């Protein structure tokens, strides 16, 4: 009998994170799942050893040769192998509440028109201490969010892979993860899903934990920090591709008008900030005999003014 949920774990030369991820999956209250570990160019024996020691049943390991993989390739390999009704990406450094699967599966069972369901998520900050990554703080990811909105998703991604369970059949309708992208592959897929249907949202407590290590480098780094340039480039690529589709269908009229309004808005903001800088500079110079160099970049002047105003308010 085929398991209902396929859990795709992407990993690359991070055995400690993989070990933690498999233990996290093993703690789920829902047990009808199959795990597919995708070894994206890492040491095969190392990954096999971690998987064998996990004690999990129904674990498959796929190995991608160095240079042939990447985040999107690894995701597609894992989802294709899973062959399950529902799928989710559980990257090796992220974690779940023990009831993540039981509650998200129940949601999709009860809402057959939803292509996917997302859950509230906490960012878990980690630092290297004593040779291990240790939690040092938490913060809500999009605090107060009550639904997955296409309007908001067009502006910025409001879900991360660890927080979204979706129907495998989605790929038959909207396509696979775009392997021409180095990043933002999840956001790109969510946009395609939302063009055709809905992504549900399970309100309440956080059920997914997205770990972040801002100071990490190399293999321990998060993709959002290690792939900053790739995120920016692929964000622009996804937007340009959508704009090209619009222009081919509707022409350039509306985009040209909106581009003009955007330029006017930026000019207005720059002028408003510049006037505020001049005013505050005059006030500070009068009170403190401190000059702000008008040739400094605008952002630098604003930052300096904020520091000076903070000092002045502290003396009040």
The model's pLDDT over 205-222, given as tens digits with 9 standing for 90+, comes to: 999 999 999 877 777 777
Looking at the structure, tell me whether residues 188 and 265 fall in a common domain.
no
Sign (positive or negative) of CA dihedral 144, 150, 156, 159: positive
Which among 229, 263, 289 is the end of a domain?
Answer: 229
Q: Let me know if residue 237 belongs to a domain.
A: no
Whether 37 and 163 share a structural domain:
yes
pLDDT computed for residue 316 by the predictor: 46
pLDDT at residue 118 is higher than 90: yes
Would you state the pLDDT for residue 62?
Answer: 86
Let me know whether 15 and 50 are in one domain.
Answer: yes
Q: Are residues 203 and 261 in the same domain?
A: no
Q: Which domain holds residue 15?
A: 5-229
Tell me, what's the pLDDT at 314?
A: 56
Stretch 84-108: mean pLDDT: 97
Q: Are residues 47 and 181 in the same domain?
A: yes
Residue 69's pLDDT is: 81
The residue-averaged pLDDT of 177-204 equals 95
Q: Would you say 22 and 51 are in contact if contact means Cβ atoms under 8 Å apart? A: yes
CATH code of the domain containing 108: 3.90.550.10
Instruction: Give 176 or 220, the one with higher predicted confidence.
Output: 176
| Interatomic CA distance for residues 13 and 40, integer angstroms | 8
Give me Rg for the CA atoms of the chain: 24
The residue with greater pLDDT, 276 or 158, is 158
Residues 165 and 307 in one domain: no
Please state the domain count of the chain: 2
Q: Are residues 173 and 263 in the same domain?
A: no
Same-domain status, 164 and 296: no
Contact 224, 213 (CB under 8 A): no
203 and 66, same domain (yes or no): yes
Is residue 52 in a domain? yes
> Residue 35 domain-assigned?
yes
| Mean pLDDT, residues 5-23 | 94
Strand partners, 212: 125
Q: What is residue 309's predicted lDDT score, i.e. its pLDDT? A: 61
73 occurs within a structural domain? yes
Helix (H, G, I), strand (E, B) or coil at 289: coil
Q: Which whole number is the average pLDDT over 159-164?
A: 97
* C-alpha triplet 236, 241, 244: angle, nearest 5°: 120
Query: Which range, of 26-35, 48-57, 251-260, 289-298, averages the lowest pLDDT?
Result: 289-298
Between these two residues, 61 and 117, which has the higher pLDDT value?
Answer: 117
The mean pLDDT value of the chain amounts to: 88
Residue 189 lies in a domain: yes
Q: Is there a domain that residue 241 lies in?
A: no
Same domain flag for 28 and 127: yes
Instruction: Tell me: pLDDT of 81 over 50.
Output: yes
Is residue 235 a part of any domain in this protein? no
Whole-angstrom Cα distance, residue 182 to residue 214? 20
* 27: helix, strand or coil: coil
Are both 64 and 167 inside the same structural domain?
Answer: yes
Burial class (CB within 10 angstroms; exposed 0-12, middle 13-18, buried 19+) of 270: exposed
Is the same domain home to 223 and 290?
A: no
The answer to whether position 244 is within a domain reads no
């Amino acid at each position: 009998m085929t398991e209902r949920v396929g859990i795709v774990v992407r990993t690359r030369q991070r055995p400690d994170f993989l070990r933690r991820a498999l233990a996290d999956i093993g703690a789920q209250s829902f047990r009808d799942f199959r795990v597919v570990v995708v070894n994206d160019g890492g040491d095969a024996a190392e990954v096999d050893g971690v998987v064998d020691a996990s004690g999990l049943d129904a674990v498959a390991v796929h190995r991608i040769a160095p240079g042939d993989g990447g985040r999107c390739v690894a995701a597609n390999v894992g989802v294709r192998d899973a062959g399950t009704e529902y799928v989710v990406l559980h990257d090796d450094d992220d974690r779940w509440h023990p009831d993540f699967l039981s509650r998200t599966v129940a949601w999709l069972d009860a809402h057959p028109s939803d292509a996917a369901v997302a859950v509230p998520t906490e960012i878990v900050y980690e630092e290297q201490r004593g040779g291990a990554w240790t939690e040092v703080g938490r913060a809500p990811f999009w605090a107060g969010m009550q639904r997955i909105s296409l309007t908001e998703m067009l502006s910025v991604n409001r879900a991360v892979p660890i927080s979204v369970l979706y129907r495998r059949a989605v790929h038959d309708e909207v396509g696979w993860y775009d392997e021409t992208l180095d990043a933002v592959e999840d956001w790109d897929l969510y946009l395609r899903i939302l063009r055709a249907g809905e992504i549900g949202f399970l309100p309440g407590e956080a059920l997914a934990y997205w770990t972040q290590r801002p100071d990490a480098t190399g293999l321990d780094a998060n993709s959002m920090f290690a792939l900053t340039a790739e995120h920016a480039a692929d964000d622009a690529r996804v937007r340009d591709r959508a704009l090209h589709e619009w222009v081919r269908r509707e022409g350039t009229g509306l985009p040209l008008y909106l581009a003009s309004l955007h330029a006017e808005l930026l000019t207005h903001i720059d002028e408003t900030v510049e006037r505020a800088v001049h005013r505050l500079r005059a006030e500070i110079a009068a009170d403190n005999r401190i000059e702000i160099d008008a040739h400094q970049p605008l952002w630098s002047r604003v930052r300096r003014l904020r520091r000076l105003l903070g000092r002045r308010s502290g003396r009040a």
